[in-house]
């Protein structure tokens, strides 16, 4: 396999999934701390209270990275560790932790790639302003971003504003299976809209105040699976295209074209908010690279009848895009029940390349979960090796065919807290029988309030 000489090789994590130390040294609570306490939300009641204890083992972890030969490491900052209330008072101990991590990485020749938001919103902002439903939060995010640029920007040269806005919107505000646990078919579009605006504002700030001096790059990471038409029928091909637009173009079109995809406008009507002309201008071109998290592929067909009760039939996702999704029974599955389909990765890279005029793409996450067994203190992870080989071969082919792919980060650097699946090995988040869980749209806000009082 041939990769360009300056290709970035790294691995990724996120704050809530690895840090632990949830109330140490002045960290404020996040919506994930609260969400984990709601009975039934996280498998077996697991929490990120301790997780990989990275907060205390940071130096050991960086030594492991060095030993693995990583040249780049993508991590996220816990907003409530540096602004315990989301805004206002700064927690210098939190700043110190990230500052030391960055120094440690650089001392080991590992390039830090920093995500500002990987889902762990300060709980105070959820309670006080309704999280991403309130447009004013976009300015609070910018203040947080500014502090990060000021304190870390002398050493951090790669910034990612948001990780997977789709997940926040759909799983957090549509299906309610991730924090803040809201169930709605309008809120996902509003939350997503505000995330895009917050992204654009933070990029504008970086570009006007910091980029010239700090000489870094800034972008956003979106997630997308590949959608392969189930049959050659035109309606299935259209369904697959529509599914990709509802998934990835939802967040990428505003940045590359200044507007949402037409199929979303047509189908969503007033539920899809509109950008002002100023926001449109701010969004256009607001990324220095195309961050992509890619895990799997599904077969898409025109929805003649929605799979009622399946997770894809809930929360305004399937209903709005009118696509049925299925798996080819011949595909191998990971423990997350995600199909291993390396060629899907190459097709997606081409789709992005064609639609957005050949951007510089960085795969900021790709990987697999397997039920690893320890044998004499080691893991014989043949399946994982095969997975990476398969996906990287397709990446190499895509590059050969002209796709401008410039980096690859494996998910994850460590086994960690997998959100609603907790630490389980056999619990794919998309296969939870969500209907057995408590579904009370407004209850979570009240629950958060009670939690804070404790």
Would you please indicate which residues are annotated as catalytic (active-site) residues?
Answer: 164, 365
Q: Assess 247 for contact with ligand GAL (CB under 6 A).
A: no
Q: How far apart are CA 33 and CA 119, in angstroms?
A: 11
What minimum distance in Å lies between the beta carbon of 338 and ligand GAL? 8
Q: Interface mask (CB under 6 A) for ligand GAL, residues 154-183, using x and -?
A: ---------xx--x----------------
What minimum distance in Å lies between the beta carbon of 414 and ligand GAL? 11
DSSP assignment, residue 309? T
Nearer to ligand GAL, 61 or 279 (CB): 61
Of the candidate spans 78-86, 87-95, 279-287, 411-419, the one that interacts with ligand GAL by CB under 6 A turns out to be: 411-419
Q: Assess 15 for contact with ligand GAL (CB under 6 A).
A: no
**DSSP string for residues in 123-158:** HHHHHHH-GGGSTTHHHHHHHHHHHHHHHHTTT--E
Q: How far apart are CA 55 and CA 189, in angstroms?
A: 34
Q: Which of positions 88-117 make contact with ligand GAL (CB under 6 A)?
A: none
Q: Assess 31 for contact with ligand GAL (CB under 6 A).
A: no
- What distances in angstroms separate CA 50 from CA 53, 293, 383, one per listed residue? 5, 26, 28
Give the helix ranges, DSSP H, for 121-245.
123-129, 137-152, 165-166, 173, 187-205, 211-214, 234-244
Q: How far apart are CA 179 and CA 167, in angstroms?
A: 10
Residue whose tokens read 């996120």: 14
The β-bridge relationship of strands 378-379 and 374-375 is antiparallel
Interface pick for ligand GAL out of 365, 387, 395, 407 (rule CB under 6 A)? 365
What minimum distance in Å lies between the beta carbon of 109 and ligand GAL? 25
Please work out the total of residues on this chain that contact ligand GAL, with binding judged by CB under 6 A: 11
Q: Assess 223 for contact with ligand GAL (CB under 6 A).
A: yes
Nearer to ligand GAL, 245 or 365 (CB): 365
Nearer to ligand GAL, 185 or 337 (CB): 337
What minimum distance in Å lies between the beta carbon of 424 and ligand GAL? 12
Q: Assess 293 for contact with ligand GAL (CB under 6 A).
A: yes
Q: How far apart are CA 266 and CA 454, in angstroms?
A: 46
What minimum distance in Å lies between the beta carbon of 225 and ligand GAL? 10
Interface pick for ligand GAL out of 104, 225, 394, 418 (rule CB under 6 A)? 418
Q: How many CB atoms lie within 10 A of CB 287?
A: 24
Q: How far apart are CA 309 and CA 79, in angstroms?
A: 35
Q: Assess 419 for contact with ligand GAL (CB under 6 A).
A: yes
99 contacts: CB under 8 Å, gap ≥ 6: 151, 152
* Residue 162 host element (H or E): strand 158-163
Q: Assess 37 for contact with ligand GAL (CB under 6 A).
A: no
Nearer to ligand GAL, 268 or 429 (CB): 429
Contact 66, 108 (CB under 8 A): yes
Q: Assess 14 for contact with ligand GAL (CB under 6 A).
A: yes
Residues that bind ligand GAL (CB under 6 A): 14, 17, 163-164, 167, 223, 293, 365, 411, 418-419
């Amino acid at each position: 396999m041939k990769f360009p000489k300056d290709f970035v090789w790294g691995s990724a994590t996120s704050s809530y999934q690895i840090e632990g130390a949830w109330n140490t040294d002045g960290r404020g609570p996040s919506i994930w701390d609260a969400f984990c306490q709601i009975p039934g939300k996280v498998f077996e009641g697991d929490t990120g209270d301790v997780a990989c204890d990275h907060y205390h083992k940071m130096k050991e972890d960086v030594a492991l990275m060095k030993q693995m030969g990583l040249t780049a490491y993508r991590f996220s900052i816990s907003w409530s560790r540096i602004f315990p209330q989301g805004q206002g008072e700064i927690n210098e101990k939190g700043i110190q932790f990230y500052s030391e991590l960055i120094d440690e990485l650089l001392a080991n020749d590992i390039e830090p790639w920093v995500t500002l938001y990987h889902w762990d919103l300060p709980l105070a902002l959820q309670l006080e302003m309704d999280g991403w439903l309130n447009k004013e939060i976009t300015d609070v995010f910018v203040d947080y971003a500014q502090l990060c640029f000021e304190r870390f920007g002398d050493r951090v040269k790669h910034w990612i504003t948001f990780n997977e806005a789709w997940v926040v919107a759909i799983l957090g505000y549509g299906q309610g299976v991730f924090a803040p646990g809201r169930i709605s078919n309008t809120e996902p579009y509003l939350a997503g809209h505000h995330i895009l605006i917050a992204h654009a504002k933070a990029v504008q700030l970086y570009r006007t105040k910091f980029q010239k001096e700090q000489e870094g790059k800034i972008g956003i990471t979106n997630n997308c699976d590949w959608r392969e038409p189930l049959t050659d029928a035109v309606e299935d091909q259209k369904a697959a295209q529509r599914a990709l637009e509802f998934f990835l173009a939802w967040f990428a079109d505003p940045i590359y074209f200044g507007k949402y995809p037409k199929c979303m406008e047509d189908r969503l009507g007033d539920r899809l908010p509109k950008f002002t002309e100023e926001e449109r201008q701010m969004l256009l071109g607001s990324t220095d690279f195309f961050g992509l998290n890619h895990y799997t592929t599904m077969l898409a067909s025109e929805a003649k009848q929605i799979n009622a009760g399946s997770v894809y039939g809930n929360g305004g996702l399937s209903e709005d895009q009118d696509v049925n999704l299925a798996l080819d029974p011949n595909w191998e599955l990971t423990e997350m029940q995600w199909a291993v389909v390396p060629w899907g990765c190459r097709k997606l890279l081409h789709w992005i390349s064609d639609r957005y005029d050949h951007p510089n793409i960085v795969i900021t996450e790709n990987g697999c979960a397997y039920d690893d067994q320890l044998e004499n203190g080691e893991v014989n992870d043949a399946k994982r090796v095969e997975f990476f080989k398969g996906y990287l071969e397709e990446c190499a082919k895509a590059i050969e065919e002209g796709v401008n792919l410039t980096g690859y980060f494996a998910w994850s650097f460590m086994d960690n807290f997998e959100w609603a699946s907790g630490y389980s090995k056999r619990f794919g988040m998309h296969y939870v029988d969500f209907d057995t869980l408590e579904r009370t749209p407004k209850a979570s806000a009240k629950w958060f309030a009670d939690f804070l009082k404790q």
